[in-house]
Amino acid sequence: MTLYFAPLEGLTGGVYRRAHAAVFGGVDKYFTPFYSPSSIGLSKKEMAELDEDDRAITIPQLLTKRASDFLIAAAQLHALGYREINLNCGCPSGTVSAKHKGAGFLLCLDEMRAFFEELFDCLDGVAPGMCVSVKTRIGYGAENEFPEILDVYNTYPISQLTIHPRLRQDFYRGSLRLRAYHYAEQYAAMPLCYNGDVFSATNYSAFLEKVPKASCIMLGRGAVANPALFLELRGENVGDKRARLREMHDRILEENRRRMGDGKSLLCRMADLWNYQRFLFENGEEACRRIRRAANLAEYRAAVATLFRECPLLPNGAYCSPDL
């Protein structure tokens, strides 16, 4: 099975990706949280961050409906050594969708066709050999939208299609609409990747019973909650998981501290991580309340030390979505 790490805005930035790769790994590709290029492409700050990543396994994701902006960013990324870019057609955020970007692009299929026409007409001229993959939902408001959406994707040389089988209006709630994914298995012209609600080895097995032809899966929330999930799904020995979790945490903390300073922004960034990783620990929610209440870095360090010292790892700890 090919395994990808999905982007989660505010969580899986470059600092996180590099720490995860160094301590756990097991990932075939990491996808960045989306960048929104402008008429001058990506900013110097964004380019500097991408320049630190391993081009062999990191895929920049772009959020745009303007082919000209995508092409300028593609030229910049090609110069850095990237050879694949992912287009986000799945973000369900209201502010994004209202601009007909992300999942909102699925409402504008004529506009999408024009986007791909311009993109693939010009791509080789500005970024030779660049592949374009797409991450999508199956529709905006109704499941019967998907065949026409897939027909648009099939018209163009998209290198891979990652499908989160929910509608934009579903956000991350409710049951997955696997009928649409099975339709894509039958009719898609490009390789597929599945994304959605694989949180543990147990429901990975249940997923494979429902989608036995799957050969590529993208993990998101479950992997942020349990950074060892990729290794566990591969049947590899994780070793001292607690020690590795602590090492990864400390790498992320120290690198973010160098970049952000010791203030509230750092504490908020680290608290966001514990909103997911709390599911791995017995009494994790209570311990994480102490982490979130930390008023300064010293209090934060003390709360984290208490968690690692006093909270046992749950044997089958995994992300548990309140939306399901």
Mean pLDDT of 258-267: 96
237 pLDDT more than 90: yes
DSSP 68-120: HHHHHHHHHHHHHT--EEEEEE----HHHHTTT-GGGGGG-HHHHHHHHHHHH
pLDDT at site 322: 66
Superfamily assignment of 34-196 in CATH? Aldolase class I (3.20.20.70)
Q: Give residue 122's pLDDT band: very low, low, confident or very high (50, 70, 90).
A: very high
Residue 236 pLDDT: 95
- DSSP character at residue 201: H
Q: What is the pLDDT of residues 149-199, one digit of tens each?
A: 999 999 999 999 999 999 999 999 999 999 999 999 999 999 999 999 999
| The pLDDT value given to residue 160 | 98
The predicted structure's pLDDT at residue 321: 73
pLDDT at 324 over 70: no
What mean pLDDT is reported for the chain? 96
Angle formed at CA 34 by CA 30 and CA 40, multiple of 5 degrees: 125
pLDDT over 90, % of the chain: 98
Q: What is the mean pLDDT of residues 107-114?
A: 98
Q: Where are the domains of the chain?
A: 34-196, 241-310
Q: How confident is the model at residue 36 (pLDDT cuts 50, 70, 90)?
A: very high
State pLDDT tens for residues 40-98: 999 999 999 999 999 999 999 999 999 999 999 999 999 999 999 999 999 999 999 99
Closest alpha carbon to 30 in 58, 63, 56: 58
The reported pLDDT for the residue numbered 250 is 98
Q: β-pairing, 192-195 with 216-219?
A: parallel
**pLDDT tens readout for residues 79-93:** 999 999 999 999 999
Query: Residue 244 pLDDT more than 90?
Result: yes
The pLDDT of 299-309, averaged and rounded, is 97
Tokens 């097995």 locate to 205
